[in-house]
Amino acid sequence: MTSTVEAKAPARRSRTFVSEIMFTQLSFAVVVGLIALGCLWFVASWVVRDNLEDWSARWVHELESLGSGLYLEQNDPSYLALGNYLERYEEVLYVRYYDATGKPFYIESSNETVPFEPLDAAAIERLASRAELNNAHVVDESLAPVVRLSRAIVTESIANPTDLFAAESLDELTTERSTVGYVELGVDYSRYDRQLVSSVFLGSVFVTLAFFILAGIGWLIIARAVQPLRQLEAPLKKLAAGELDIEVPDSPHREIAAIGEALTQAARAIKERDQHLRHLASYDQLTGLANRRHFLEEVEQRLPGGGALLFIDLDQFKYVNDTVGHRGGDAVLAQTADRLRQTVRPDDLIARFGGDEFVMFVGGVTTERAEQLANKLLNDLKEYPLTHAGQSFNVGCSVGVAMVEANTGFTPTELVSQADVACRQAKSEGRNRAHLYLRQEGEFENIQSDLDWQRRIKRAIKEDRLELHYQPLMHTASGQINHYEALVRLRDEGGKLHYPNTFLPAAQRFGMLKELDQWVIRQAIRELAEHRKRRPNLRFSVNITGNTFIDGAFADFVIEELERNSLPASAIIFEITEQVAIGTFSDTVPQIRALIKRGAEFAVDDFGTGYSSLSYLKRLPVAYIKIDGVFIKRLTESTVDQTIVRAIADIARIMGKRTVAEFVGDEATMALIKDIGIDYAQGFHIGKPARELLEEAPENVVEFRAG
């Protein structure tokens, strides 16, 4: 089974590892830079303002000395010295003088930007109110960045000059204060602000330039550091695309080197796992030979070169299993595979096709050479016995040969079928011999028919056109019918019903019996679970082929289906033929016992026509013996058949097993098997296989049941 997963196309991403790191670092750097510039601006402004405040305080103290101009004449040298004062301090814009009424009368200015107007009454009152204080100046910042510092110039004189000579001390003199005028100093801070902005801007330019230079250097350093990670991208893409032969570059970084080593180990592990899985899917684990699927695929490639295809079936291999057990049989099969390898060339193809069946493709040989090779295989196995645990086994084989010719149109499956037909012919001629398939013998038509049935069976399973019909088994002592045998039917596309003898041979030839068995078991359990809701004592019998037991999973499969449908194992009886039980004894018995432990029962079908070995019957844990219909059809007429049936019934009774007579066709036969002591009867006299179950015994056996 294969599953298809639609891969989602990866989204295109523009972000890279380097850009992610750089973006993060730059973001932090920008934030830190802005904070630093803000702090720089704040500190610089604070320092400048603090200095200007100190300067302003000094200038305020100089206002009083500047007020001396009110006492001097304009032509006085000290009066004219104001110009030099302004030249010495660039931040001082002007010095203004007002008379006692607030009228301006003189200005010394370096850059007149403020109108020289009289002081208003409010300004005169404010200056006068502070004239007596130590801090007598007034600060006006309404015209910022120009700050105006003003103060009143006050003089103090003796009120009565004549008292000057009479007073013994100055404290006795009476003085009076008068305002002679006002002086105003204009200080401009804008020059310092401009210098601060220019300095901060210039510093910011240098910081920004350094930032980008360092960012570029950081980008190169980070890019170099993560270059080993980028080098991992190419091998990862190859690994994702399924290429396992990748080369991961070395890295000086410990972490990246560890990633590269892990990637290499992962690719190696995946490669080893894939090789192992391919080997498991293509080769038989026991012998190491190619399996059926791989063999057919390889033959398909080699067909144009022609050659021969040999089908090899070991004769009486079951005796090896019976003698040394399943593991011993496996060891002998492995030795057989080695023997086959030694017979052919290294480039020839050998496969294990089934339990004890092998196929071989030998390229570029003639018919004569193919027959010689087949005879050599026969002689090697005959002359050189196989051994295990100190025992020797003369295991012979039958070989079928089909010639492979270019442009014949035959598929590998058809060629295998031809070789299989030839092998069967060799067995029918006495075993331990080879037979060449001749297409003029008319066997190809049979092969084509089998291939057609193979395709029809597959379609029927897929389209659910298989169905079960049920034939009743009547308990001879009570006349009750609570037991039915489930029989598979195939309904084709036209609605026609086909019986097992038409399609089971093809299913067996192409290895489909296990798949059919599983469908029958699954369907029978499901339908039985529904019927038992009305008839809780109802039981079904299901026929099982030998192929179902080979892989050892039969018991687990049945238990899982029973649990899924909440059905007790005691409701199911599994029928196996003597040939199946004996041919796969070591595979069959352990699984039979596992199901018997759960409550299921088993029956030997068609007893008396196969090996009929009482030793096998004694060793098989079966509860029912179904006597083959060949002994029942003429039971009323043949004393020999009566003797055989009576003997089987007696043996079964002694061994504690119940018996079932098949092909009961009339009332006389029914009466006779009851007299012999057969436990159950099955046949058209009781009921034909049908889709629906009987609610009670048919009218033709009611009288017998009552008797």
CB atoms within 10 A of CB 694: 15
SS3 480: coil
Element (H, E) at 241: none
What CATH code is carried by the domain that includes residue 136? 3.30.450.20
Query: Residue 181 in contact with residue 153, Cβ under 8 Å?
Result: yes
0.75 exceeded by pTM: no
Could you list the residue range(s) of the whole structural domain that residue 47 is in?
20-194
Query: What pLDDT sits at residue 403?
Result: 92
Shared domain for 489 and 633, answered yes or no, is yes
Query: Residue 415 in contact with residue 448, Cβ under 8 Å?
Result: no
Question: How far, in Å, CA of 54 to CA of 47, rounded?
Answer: 11
CB atoms within 10 A of CB 35: 10
Shared domain for 536 and 652, answered yes or no, is yes
Shared domain for 437 and 566, answered yes or no, is no
Domain boundary among 441, 473, 493: 441
Query: Residue 67 in contact with residue 152, Cβ under 8 Å?
Result: no
Query: Residue 420 in contact with residue 400, Cβ under 8 Å?
Result: yes
pLDDT per position as a tens digit, 348-390: 999 998 778 999 999 999 999 999 999 999 888 877 777 776 6
CB atoms within 10 A of CB 103: 13
Under the phi-then-psi rule, with left for phi > 0, alpha for psi from -120 to 50, and beta for the rest, what region is 316? left
Shared domain for 387 and 473, answered yes or no, is no
Shared domain for 417 and 491, answered yes or no, is no
Shared domain for 487 and 570, answered yes or no, is yes
Query: What pLDDT sits at residue 702?
Result: 46
Query: Residue 406 in contact with residue 306, Cβ under 8 Å?
Result: yes
- Looking at residue 540, the DSSP 8-state letter turns out to be E
Query: What pLDDT sits at residue 178?
Result: 77
pLDDT per position as a tens digit, 533-571: 999 999 999 998 766 776 678 899 999 999 999 999 999
Residue 45 phi/psi, 5-degree rounding, is -60, -40
Average pLDDT per run of 10 along the chain, which is 707 residues long?
Answer: 44 57 72 74 67 62 63 58 66 79 77 70 78 65 73 73 64 72 78 72 77 76 69 68 65 66 72 69 85 91 92 80 75 87 90 88 93 90 74 81 84 89 78 82 62 83 90 94 94 89 79 86 95 94 81 87 95 84 67 92 82 66 91 92 93 93 94 95 94 70 43
- Read off the tokens for 473: 């088994």
Shared domain for 482 and 618, answered yes or no, is yes
For 428, counting Cβ atoms within 10 Å of its Cβ (0-12 exposed, 13-18 middle, 19+ buried), the class is exposed
Strand locations in 510-580, DSSP E?
539-543, 572-577
Question: How far, in Å, CA of 334 to CA of 110, rounded?
Answer: 120
Whether 421 is covered by a domain: the verdict is yes
Query: What pLDDT sits at residue 349?
Result: 94
Question: How far, in Å, CA of 254 to CA of 104, rounded?
Answer: 86
Q: Output the CA–CA distances (angstroms, integers) from residue 569 to 157, 555, 566, 597, in the order listed.
A: 139, 11, 10, 9
The one-letter code for the residue type at 691 is R
| H-helix segments, 599-666 | 614-619, 639-654
Query: Residue 290 in contact with residue 300, Cβ under 8 Å?
Result: no
Question: Given the structure tokens 């305020």, which residue do they identify?
Answer: 60
Query: What pLDDT sits at residue 200?
Result: 72
Closest to 617 (Cα-Cα) out of 605, 606, 604, 630: 604
Domain boundary among 194, 224, 252: 194
Whether 217 is covered by a domain: the verdict is no
Question: How far, in Å, CA of 106 to CA of 98, rounded?
Answer: 7
Shared domain for 358 and 297, answered yes or no, is yes
Shared domain for 355 and 477, answered yes or no, is no
For 377, counting Cβ atoms within 10 Å of its Cβ (0-12 exposed, 13-18 middle, 19+ buried), the class is buried
Shared domain for 412 and 495, answered yes or no, is no
Domains contained in the chain, number = 3
Domain boundary among 169, 194, 219: 194
Query: Residue 353 in contact with residue 292, Cβ under 8 Å?
Result: yes
Query: What pLDDT sits at residue 84?
Result: 64
What CATH code is carried by the domain that includes residue 370? 3.30.70.270
Q: Determine if the peptide bond prior to 500 is cis (ω within 30°).
A: no
SS3 177: strand
Shared domain for 188 and 44, answered yes or no, is yes
What CATH code is carried by the domain that includes residue 578? 3.20.20.450
- Read off the tokens for 512: 């489909």
Shared domain for 434 and 524, answered yes or no, is no
